[in-house]
Structure 1
Amino acid sequence: MVTKTSSKKGSERRASNKTPLATKSPQRFEAAKLDSLFVVLDAVAWLDAPSNGQVAQFAGIDPRTAGKLLKNACQIGLVERLGLIESTESGYALALPYPYKGSQEQKEAVVKEALVRLPLLTGVRQFLRLGDKLDIAVRKAATIAGITPFIPADLNPLVEWAQSLGALQPSLIAEDLVDAAETKKEQRHKEDRNRRIAFLSHSSMDKPFIRQLAADLTANGVDVWLDEQRIRVGDSIPEKIAQGLAGSDFFLIATSEYSVNSSWVQKELNNALVNEVQRRKVHILPLKLDTTPMPQIIADKKYADFSNSYKAGLDELLTALRGDV
């Protein structure tokens, strides 16, 4: 005869032996078309700490789709979330330089570099190089990355993006992309000596000025990479800007009361960065936006002066950009 007590214990044992239900991985990558990512990045590059709704409206896409793409962009290090806006929603900003009006090839190169640098995919490439099949390589790399439980469907969209951009070639490293960008620049100089690409580094506080300048440079045939001066713990600035910088002819740094007092200038505008810029055969050209003194490290550089007249500063800048490279 089975007592009520033993029956209850038996039920508890049976319950404890059940396999727990799978839960969504915290690293779940959203299924979304890669082509739509670029209009989202355009929005983040142009707007000032936009919300999800603002990005969707600017890009002309559904807010839900924008949310998925923003989540993916944050996960692979293209975009970062900022503080609260009106206590309800976080804004977004670029985490990597981005060619706002650049070619499709340039934009794809930005995403490819972010994917190549992603630790999870670095692990995948390592296991592929060791001879594992892709599904096994992803499972092992996810384990090393601490992604538990491992749910293949949660990572499949990421793998598809990486495959479509060639970011899973087993022997590929980020340095290869930087070298390729520099090689393309040399080829461009031979084929089109008049085309210029400018890497524009600026404080987010100067964004209204930068929007106008980017529009005017683009209208005058200059391709512009936009880079907001943001640093995080562990960031390597030369590494962060490597590909966009290597493919550029000019490194434009907008100096103002905002940028000069920023942590970016105080901590990262140093000899290591200046040496990296010059090693990549890129001309440093400061932009003086107001009467704030130039940072000492670039005080001896010729600059375009916008402090008294925007038009005069733009003319100076265009003249310098059209010089020999």
Structure 2
Amino acid sequence: MATPKKKATPSRAAKCSFMFQAANIEALFPVLDALAWLDFPDTSQVAQFAGIDPRTAGKLLKNCLSIGIAQTAAKEGFALTTPYPYKGDIEQKKTVIREALVRMPLLQHVRQFLNLGDSLDDAVRKAATLDGITDYDASAFGPLLKWSKQMNVLQPDLLIEDIIEDAIESKEERHRSTDKKIVAFLSHSSRDKPFIRQLASDLTKNGISVWLDEREIRVGDSIPDKVGQGLAESDFFLIALSENSVDSAWVKKELNQALVAEIEKRKTHILPLKLSECQIPQLIRDKKYADFSANYKEGLKDLLSTMQQQTTL
């Protein structure tokens, strides 16, 4: 008697190597707030800070990694890789996401193929191939395309320079109007986070909008390439200097002539903040600094006075 043949088991389709999580883009803002304020938080800490469930926090953090707005850091925690306006308005926060999406290599390639006349479906498939994504599945890209359409970043000819120029024009219009709001870009080392939290809180209380930029995580990155919208919108570039930071790679590598030129081109005043006894870097030694090394309250008073004076000039 012949042995019956077993039915062939269909092979399971390989899973696409890229997957963007379906999530409401508005829910991303409290997650970014958590990353800006906490020291390398894990998923559960982000969820608690943001007031959302851990599963949703996990999805949003994965999306942050995908678009390059965050990275994994010490002890499996997370950290921002771009300046972020904690306590800023909703439009400022949206521009952070928009800039990250514009810079995302996958979407850059999508726009290039759209510019060549391809349909969106074809452009995404080709861009995925170019990016080394395997086992392509169009459904894996659906949530990313939804975010991209909401942030209006799929125009074929859109470049990062366009949104930077828009931000500069917005700042100039603010200066021409009666709005006296001051925007400050606060660059610091992660080791000085406790001081920065206090300063950001006090500046906000005094009506100053603060962009936080934590330098040290990716010392190979170039500040001029990263500051984007935050620097373009800001009236002041505040750089926190201490014994923790002046000898670190982010100061030695990033505080260079290119950075100073980039800041001054955007009509942004550089104000060093002296947190403790340390050597002020040569390139900004001629700049007036606010001295917090002896007395925090006096340093804050001097900083606020200087910012007010320079914005009225």
Is TM (by shorter chain) over 0.5? yes
2:309 alignment counterpart? 323
Does residue 112 (structure 1) correspond to residue 103 (structure 2)? The answer is no
When normalised by structure 1's length, the TM-score is: 0.91
2:287 alignment counterpart? 301
Kindly provide the CA deviation profile for residues 171-215 of structure 1, in whole angstroms up to 9, marking residues without a partner as x. 100010110000000011112342100000000111111001001
Does residue 290 (structure 1) correspond to residue 276 (structure 2)? The answer is yes
Secondary structure of the equivalent of 2:73? strand
1:87 alignment counterpart? none
Does residue 25 (structure 1) correspond to residue 16 (structure 2)? The answer is yes
2:267 alignment counterpart? 281
Matched AA of 1:273:
L
2:257 alignment counterpart? 271
Q: Relative to structure 1, is the Cα distance of residues 66 and 225 closer, same or farther in structure 2, using a 3 angstrom cutoff?
A: same
2:140 alignment counterpart? 154
Secondary structure of the equivalent of 2:23? coil
Match of 2:72 among 81, 92, 109: 81
Q: Which runs of 5+ in 1 are unaligned?
A: 85-89
Secondary structure of the equivalent of 1:207? helix
Identity across matched positions, percent: 58
Aligned pairs (5 A) from 1:41-80: 41-80=32-71
Secondary structure of the equivalent of 1:323? helix
Query: Would you say the 8 A contact 2:246–2:280 is kept in 1?
Result: yes
* C-alpha RMSD of the superposition: 1.9
Q: Which runs of 5+ in 2 are unaligned?
A: none
Q: Which has the larger radius of gyration?
A: 1
1:19 shift after superposition: 7.3
Query: Would you say the 8 A contact 2:47–2:54 is kept in 1?
Result: yes
1:130 shift after superposition: 1.6
Match of 2:187 among 201, 206, 220: 201
Query: Would you say the 8 A contact 1:231–1:263 is kept in 2?
Result: no
Kindly provide the CA deviation profile for residues 142-187 of structure 1, in whole angstroms up to 9, marking residues without a partner as x. 1111111111111111111011010111110001011000000001
Query: Would you say the 8 A contact 1:99–1:107 is kept in 2?
Result: yes
Deviates more, 1:122-131 or 1:39-48: 122-131
Distance (Å, rounded) in 2 between the aligned partners of 1:256 and 1:148: 47
2:126 alignment counterpart? 140
Distance (Å, rounded) in 2 between the aligned partners of 1:225 and 1:147: 34
Matched AA of 2:233:
G
Distance (Å, rounded) in 2 between the aligned partners of 1:150 and 1:33: 24
Query: Would you say the 8 A contact 2:73–2:217 is kept in 1?
Result: no
Secondary structure of the equivalent of 1:294? coil
Match of 2:234 among 233, 248, 254: 248
Q: How many residues align?
A: 311
1:233 shift after superposition: 6.9
When normalised by structure 2's length, the TM-score is: 0.95
Does residue 39 (structure 1) correspond to residue 30 (structure 2)? The answer is yes
